[in-house]
Structure 1
Amino acid sequence: MKNLLPRTTVLTAVVSLFLFSACESDEATPDATLQAANTQAAHQTNSMNLYKTYTVELMELNGSGVNGMAHIELMGDKIDVSLEAGGLTPEMEHMQHIHGFIENNRNAVCPPPSADTNGDGLISLVEGIPFYGPVLVPLTPYPVADATGMVDFMNQYPIGRTVRSLQNNVIVLHGMYVDGVYDPTIPVACGQIKVMNKGK
């Protein structure tokens, strides 16, 4: 009986400490979860409220004579794209894309003349990819140039978070005759996307 009391006292203290810790943990966990949820919701709200405007000056590639301007408005998870260009092959469809790189936040650029690695005098779609990257957003439906070689285009597109740094990307227009045959893939104009405002 003499040694029983201290052991009981120690056991009671241990149990009490365990219950207090468990209670404290139960109280902390909902707060931490709520805080994380609020942070995520705020981040999503900020992303959805993001508004930026961009401009693009389209300059000829491959001696096409094509030039033009594009305007982009980023509104959360959507972009509005308006584009005007001239010098295109009349009454032919012209592919147009936002090209860029997702990995490492690498900047896309318009290909220089040295991109013509096979020496045929033209920069092909494939030869341009190391400079402007793969297609990130196809600007469909692809427009058909009018009888004077002009296009006047506008459309809205959903845009993912990975593509949202638009100033790292370029717009490329495609399509012209090569040796009497229309090549719809060959790049005919390119322009760097530049920020006009800093957004919210």
Structure 2
Amino acid sequence: MKNFIQKTIGFVVAPALLLSFSACDQSDVSPEANLSTQNADAAHQTNSMNLNKTYTVELMELNGSGVHGMAHIELMGNEIEVSLEAAGLTPEMEHMQHIHGFIENNRNAVCPPMSADTNGDGLISLAEGVPFYGPVLVALDPYPTADATGMVDFMNQYTIARAARSLQNNVIVMHGMYVDGVYDPTIPVACGQIKVANQGK
């Protein structure tokens, strides 16, 4: 009988000890730690959502080109989809197009005024525009060829670096027109500031 009682006590005590150890393990995780983890998860989800944005661009003529158009950009994480329509371009010629901007110091790129024409030839060259709109960040290739009426209808997707994702600081520049009877593929013919259309989906 004594042995039976000892065995019975052993069976009761063992589960109790396991429950006690389990409770100690759970109490080691503070409420503050749990809250911190929850906040980190929520912040990660918010940041992921904020990477999805829509932008619009109104393209205005440069150098008296008569070029005008609109562009839309969808940012999805590190991918962008660019759709662009423009008119007034040199017919049946290829037109380079880029996202220009400055990576350092979050400096805003802008479309150059006519005062950018430092050599006084009446035209803003690619180099003369760089201090205003910065270097090329994303080449929007393959570059389109305007149709017989001088129009382009373009769409493509690109992977972009993290440094280039502040798109609202940048501009789109289109290039290419005849100068003194010779086609200059580099001369800027249209420019537009990239503007946020929404703040995230």
What range describes the TM-score normalised by the shorter chain of this pair?
A: 0.7 to 0.9
* Equivalent residues of 1:58, 1:69 under 8 A apart: yes
* Equivalent residues of 1:70, 1:81 under 8 A apart: yes
1:1-200 mapped onto 2 (5 Å cutoff) = 43=44, 46-47=47-48, 50-200=51-201
* Equivalent residues of 1:48, 1:75 under 8 A apart: no
* Equivalent residues of 1:50, 1:199 under 8 A apart: yes
* Equivalent residues of 1:93, 1:175 under 8 A apart: yes
* Higher radius of gyration, 1 or 2: 2
* Equivalent residues of 2:50, 2:200 under 8 A apart: no
TM-score computed with the length of structure 2 as normaliser: 0.78
Deviations 1:77-119 (A, max 9, x none): 1000000000000000000000000000000000000000000
CA spacing shift, 1:44–1:183, aligned 2, 3 Å: farther
| Structure 1 residue ranges (4+ consecutive) displaced by more than 4 angstroms after TM superposition | 42-45
Mark the runs of 5 or more structure 2 residues left unpaired by the alignment.
Answer: 1-27
Deviations 1:30-66 (A, max 9, x none): xx9xx89x959x6498347621000000000000000
* Equivalent residues of 2:49, 2:200 under 8 A apart: no
* Equivalent residues of 1:62, 1:122 under 8 A apart: yes
Mark the runs of 5 or more structure 1 residues left unpaired by the alignment.
Answer: 1-26
Kindly report the root-mean-square deviation, in angstroms, between the aligned alpha carbons of the 2 structures.
2.2
* Equivalent residues of 1:86, 1:149 under 8 A apart: yes
The number of aligned residues is 168
**Following the alignment from structure 1 to structure 2, what is the Cα–Cα distance between the partners of residues 177 and 44?**
50
Q: Which amino acid aligns with 1:135?
A: V
TM-score computed with the length of structure 1 as normaliser: 0.78
